[in-house]
Chain A
Amino acid sequence: MTLPAISVQNLVKRFGTSTVLEAINLTIPAGQVSCLIGPSGSGKSTLLRCLAFLEEASEGMITVNGEALGFFENSRGERERLPLAQIRRVRSQIGMVFQQFNLWPHMTALGNVAEALKTVHKAPKAEAEERALAQLTKVGLANRAGHYPSQLSGGQQQRVAIARALALQPKIMLFDEPTSALDPELTGEVLNVMRDLATEGMTMVVVSHEIGFAATVAQQISFLDQGRILFAGAPGHVFAKPRHPRLEQFLDTYLDRGASMLV
């Protein structure tokens, strides 16, 4: 068994007094697509944000390619925060794509993709832009390099956001409902980019209501409900009838075109 890309043990996340995630155990295998599905408010975003260390888990451990993320257990068995430099290093293996794209509005598509190459990786401007352009080419947007986010469609913006994350050569890509903010006719172009990425063997964790995508691309599906992973497994297994009543209920609510063929 090879090292998992991400391993989550007994993760708990509380906001104040409300517990949003409870006893989460999750293994994300390297080179595979894992989907998180579940009703709205079940804690999918919070879990993904914990994996990105945008939120700090209240309890539990997360390891990324074998290295502790954020916290580790010291010799006395206590949970201890890691030094910032270490956190940054482990985190640099992770790329994140947000529901709202979050492209920086004052930079062009090329500027967005090249920014961290220049400021963080100190690449010379020409080299950074060359690499950024290569990423934009990959998502089919080389001809939009000089456009500002306000001049791009939602689908194009999300593809730029994917290129921006990929430019930093992450080992793992996290997607939080990458197509939920898009008009239905624009979801395809984003899902296609994600499919290509999966084919290349990128480790991906995808929160999505695109059941069709989950069923056809993911190797593993975890169903979250009220802060817990109710069950997980291969799509054929998870979607096989008879289904868990909560999943049945969820599918009734979020049924999309892809899923209708499947169900």
Chain B
Amino acid sequence: MTFKLFNLLVQASVWTIGISAISIVIGFILALGLSAALLSARKLYRRPAEFFISFFRGVPLLVQLLLIYNLLPFIGLNVPSIVAAIVGMSLCTAAYQAENLRGGFESVPKGFIEAADMAGLSPRQIFMRIKAPIALRLTFPALVNEAIMILKSSSLVSVVGIVEITRMAQDLASSTYMPIEIFSSAAIIYLAICWIVAMTGKYVERSLPGAVK
């Protein structure tokens, strides 16, 4: 195992990190809308969101990726495989993040809302100033968790031809006949990335205003 090989894996991790980060962000934005639909009093909004979530949580990500990869050209969208990968991962993480957010919004203590109501805040102000910040804090640990899950799941996008850490490791393993060294290195790189995300998450959580230290 040479430095050069290890370096190739590190370079490939840019794809792992890039695709994961973009998917988490897009997924979060989608999840905000989805969770609002889930919390809506109207079935018209709730049902489609529930269907979306049960689909993306019930079908393996690998199958979702292959489906999207083949479906997009079929409906006339000839997009690069990176786009298919990001679409698949974003939709999948959106489903999980939406459930987290719904749980967060539901666990904002009723008393905080009543205090805001008594103080004369409008429903919109209560949402922006009280509900949303508290719900986001409550769901932050789950969000960090989800980011780590997505980082690891991103190994699956190798099936649509993206040379991220796992695909690079497979390629190198078959050309160098050093699978144990190569895959151990890949494991260490994944571990390091996830560790950094977890530590950063803990740090951010502790430094949020009002956090219990």
- The smallest C-beta distance from B144 to any residue of chain A, in angstroms, reads 18
| Known contacts A102-B114, A106-B134, A92 near B120 by CB under 8 Å | yes
Contact of A148 among B120, B125, B209 (CB under 8 A): B209
| Distance between Cα atoms of A100 and B113 in the complex (Å) | 13
Contact present for B109 and A102 (CB under 8 Å): yes
Q: Which of B179-213 contact A (CB under 8 A)?
A: 208-213
Chain B residues within an 8 Å CB radius of A98: 111, 114-115
Contact of B115 among A94, A102, A150 (CB under 8 A): A102
Q: Which of B90-123 contact A (CB under 8 A)?
A: 109, 111-112, 114-122
Assess whether B130 is interfacial by the CB under 8 Å rule: yes
Contact of B212 among A94, A100, A150, A168 (CB under 8 A): A150
Assess whether A96 is interfacial by the CB under 8 Å rule: yes
Q: Which of A79-110 contact B (CB under 8 A)?
A: 88, 91-92, 94-96, 98, 100, 102-108
Chain A residues within an 8 Å CB radius of B111: 98, 100, 102
| Known contacts A92-B120, A105-B134, A106-B210, A120 near B114 by CB under 8 Å | no
Q: Which residue of A is nearest B208, CB measured?
A: A106
| Known contacts A115-B129, A119-B125, A119-B129, A104 near B116 by CB under 8 Å | yes
| Known contacts A107-B209, A120-B125, A148-B210, A168 near B120 by CB under 8 Å | yes
Assess whether B137 is interfacial by the CB under 8 Å rule: yes
Assess whether B133 is interfacial by the CB under 8 Å rule: yes
Contact present for A104 and B125 (CB under 8 Å): no
- The smallest C-beta distance from B121 to any residue of chain A, in angstroms, reads 6
| Distance between Cα atoms of A98 and B133 in the complex (Å) | 21
- The smallest C-beta distance from B194 to any residue of chain A, in angstroms, reads 28
Interface residue tally for chain B (C-beta within 8 Å): 24
- The smallest C-beta distance from A115 to any residue of chain B, in angstroms, reads 7
| Known contacts A54-B118, A148-B209, A150-B210, A104 near B109 by CB under 8 Å | no
Chain A residues within an 8 Å CB radius of B114: 54, 96, 98, 102
| Distance between Cα atoms of A168 and B118 in the complex (Å) | 10
Assess whether A52 is interfacial by the CB under 8 Å rule: yes
- The smallest C-beta distance from B163 to any residue of chain A, in angstroms, reads 43
Contact present for B210 and A105 (CB under 8 Å): yes
Chain A residues within an 8 Å CB radius of B120: 88, 91-92, 116, 120, 168
Chain B residues within an 8 Å CB radius of A178: none
Interface residue tally for chain A (C-beta within 8 Å): 28
| Known contacts A92-B120, A168-B120, A102 near B112 by CB under 8 Å | yes
| Known contacts A54-B117, A102-B114, A106-B137, A149 near B210 by CB under 8 Å | yes
| Known contacts A104-B130, A106-B133, A150-B211, A120 near B121 by CB under 8 Å | yes
Assess whether A50 is interfacial by the CB under 8 Å rule: no
Assess whether A165 is interfacial by the CB under 8 Å rule: yes
**Which of A91, A95, A106 gathers most chain B CB within 10 Å?**
A106
- The smallest C-beta distance from B85 to any residue of chain A, in angstroms, reads 36
Assess whether A164 is interfacial by the CB under 8 Å rule: yes
**Which of B111, B115, B116, B134 gathers most chain A CB within 10 Å?**
B115
| Distance between Cα atoms of A91 and B121 in the complex (Å) | 12
- The smallest C-beta distance from A98 to any residue of chain B, in angstroms, reads 6
Contact present for B118 and A94 (CB under 8 Å): yes
| Distance between Cα atoms of A108 and B133 in the complex (Å) | 14
Chain B residues within an 8 Å CB radius of A115: 119, 121, 129
Chain A residues within an 8 Å CB radius of B119: 115-116, 120, 164-165, 168
Contact present for B121 and A119 (CB under 8 Å): yes
Contact of B118 among A52, A108, A149, A150 (CB under 8 A): A52
| Distance between Cα atoms of A253 and B210 in the complex (Å) | 38
Residues of chain A whose beta carbon lies under 8 Å from any beta carbon of chain B? 52, 54, 88, 91-92, 94-96, 98, 100, 102-108, 115-116, 119-120, 148-150, 161, 164-165, 168
- Top 3 A-B pairs, shortest CB-CB distance: A116-B119, A102-B111, A148-B210
Known: A98-B111, A104-B134, A107-B210. 6 other contacts (CB 8 A): A91-B118, A100-B109, A104-B116, A120-B122, A148-B209, A148-B210
